[in-house]
Amino acid sequence: MELKEAIKLRHTVRKFKADSIPEDIVAKINSRIEELNSRYNLSMRLVQDFNKGVWSILKFISKNTSNFVLLAIKEENDKQKEFLGYASSDLMLYIQTLGLNSWWIGGTYSNKVEQFASQEIVRGILVIGYGENQGKPHKSKTYEEVASYKGEPPSWFKDGVQAALDAPTAMNKQAFKIEGEDNKVKIIYKESGFSNEDLGIVKHHFEIGAGKENFTFEE
């Protein structure tokens, strides 16, 4: 399965089976995390079997949420947060290709998870595991509500917008606008507590849908 296919299959899952993640799959996830950390100077790490049970890592009950990736940055700045969103999007989709499910959580996890960080700044967690189901597509805005292109939009732009609409965002608000002209694309995100992470996630999805050889992002 390619990441582009995973975009359509990945949905937020909040209840997981008690099944352990096989060692070979864990090794692949850790390798991907190491690669992303190195590329974007991040501090993500996988934590397994943390206080197994319904109260393990969340402030409310959710079944078998005991495996997660700590989503952490080394410096408190907007670009690092955007990189974290971009990298965590890659990780979410990669995990989907391995047959697992995920849930990006920004504010409702237990502060106990921060014991796994040292000097890093924790921005969220990515719960992973085998879902009891595959989740459902989130309610989505339309192409016309989020996108504009100067002239007739090429197919790559439309495909990119659709992939962006499939991306998970904070509270599913999809608070972004995508503007295009020739091979230039600009994504504007309404400022919020997780707008930089959301921007990174949306950029990654757009890039996969559109094909990065077809355009360049403008800041």
Question: In this prediction, what percent of the chain has a pLDDT beyond 90?
Answer: 76
Sheet containing strand 101-105, strands side by side: 45-47, 68-73, 121-129, 101-105
Residue range(s) of every CATH 3.40.109.10 domain in the chain = 3-129
pLDDT of residue 145: 97
pLDDT of residue 54: 41
Burial code (b: 16+ CB inside 10 Å, e: under 16) for 112-148 equals ebeebeeebbbbbbbbbbbbeeebeeeeeeebeebbe
pLDDT of residue 61: 56
pLDDT of residue 115: 78
What pTM value is reported for the model? 0.93
The CATH architecture one would assign to domain 3-129 is 3-Layer(aba) Sandwich (3.40)
The CATH architecture one would assign to domain 143-214 is 3-Layer(aba) Sandwich (3.40)
Which residue ranges in the chain fall short of pLDDT 70? 51-61, 108, 110
pLDDT of residue 59: 55
pLDDT of residue 55: 45
Residue range(s) of every CATH 3.40.109.30 domain in the chain = 143-214
